Structure 1
């Protein structure tokens, strides 16, 4: 009998919901911009594009090394990486890179005052992603998000202490 009451209550609540939900803002401008915008690479050079490759390689090489060390070559093929090891390796590399940057820039004045609050927000985001990875360890999108948040933190430290307009 309680099942019928809860089902009736659920049915009433479902019927009281609106049939459609309108977004808070006009989304067509962003959609149109994304569709029509063509990235123009010709004629533009990125002065520090080699650094992105170096960072990617520094993350990819240890990840492959961890995967190879975890795989048993004599047994059946491993279907996935040990995500805990990959996350630990990624976090260790990030912390190493972050601490070396902070030591490098410790004597240079920061251009903004709130950069440490921004860094803390990014660290909180990384912690949330790591928490989500504990529940879904093989989620590649979460791993990419973690890597992106780490890169954003490194970029923030570099932009605050050595912006591109100060470099030759």
Structure 2
């Protein structure tokens, strides 16, 4: 189809349209939203003007500014990388590992266990063989500590030791808890 024929066909179709035809729904909310969005976009460009190195001209085109924004971003990036590298090279608190960790865990557990035993010293226990169970858990902890002497950084053994310690604490608390709180 040639351009003249297209233009003539378009004009004919437009003339046939009903001039009084109304849209099926109210179109103003969508138009208003588009206008507000366009205004917000223009405001954002004005706010960012100079920060991103672009300036919006009155004809709507964006031109590159003198590049000060790019240099500032580059400098900020270099400073951030330098700070992160420096922080990574600084010695942090030394982590306790190996035999020192086992000793620290054991000392902390011994304190907690003795504090609980002192707290419940005057109370009667709910079972009679709880001290035998405590001794059995102690021997299990000793066996784990002996294994940790050969592999001081073995996480599975360290978790087992913590579990045995926690079982001892739970045993002491459960045995000495008041009868009214038992179900």
Task: Give the TM-score, by structure 2 length.
Answer: 0.47
Deviation at 1:73, TM superposition (A): 4.5
Change in CA separation of 1:156 and 1:135 when aligned onto 2, cut-off 3 Å: same
Aligned CA RMSD, in angstroms, stands at 2.4
Cα gap change, 1:74 to 1:98, in 2 (>3 Å): closer
Aligned length: 93
CA deviation profile, 1:10-50 (whole Å, cap 9, x unmatched): xxxxxxxxxxxxxxxxxxxxxxxxxxxxxxxxxxxxxxxxx
CA distance in 2, matches of 1:108, 1:164: 11
For 1:85, the equivalent position in structure 2 comes to 100
Structure 2 residue 175 is matched with structure 1 residue 160: yes
Q: Does 1:125 align with 2:140?
A: yes
Partner of residue 147, structure 1:
162
| Cα distance, 1:165 vs structure 2 | 5.2
Deviations 1:55-81 (A, max 9, x none): xxxxxxxxxxxxxxxxx9459xx8x74
Q: 1-side partners of 2:179 and 2:109: how far apart?
A: 22
Q: 2: CA distance between counterparts of 1:82 and 1:164?
A: 42
Q: Report which structure shows greater RCO (CA 8 Å, sep ≥6).
A: 1
Which residue number in structure 1 is paired with residue 122 of structure 2?
107
User: Based on CA coordinates, which of the two structures has the bigger radius of gyration?
Assistant: 2
Shift in Å at residue 164 of structure 1? 8.0
Distance 2:104 2:180 in 1: 33
Runs of 4+ in 1 over 2 A off after TM superposition: 72-75
Distance 1:108 1:164, change over 3 A: closer
Structure 2, unaligned runs of 5 or more: 1-88
Per the normalisation by structure 1, the TM-score is 0.51
Q: Which stretch shows the higher mean deviation, 157-166 or 143-152?
A: 157-166
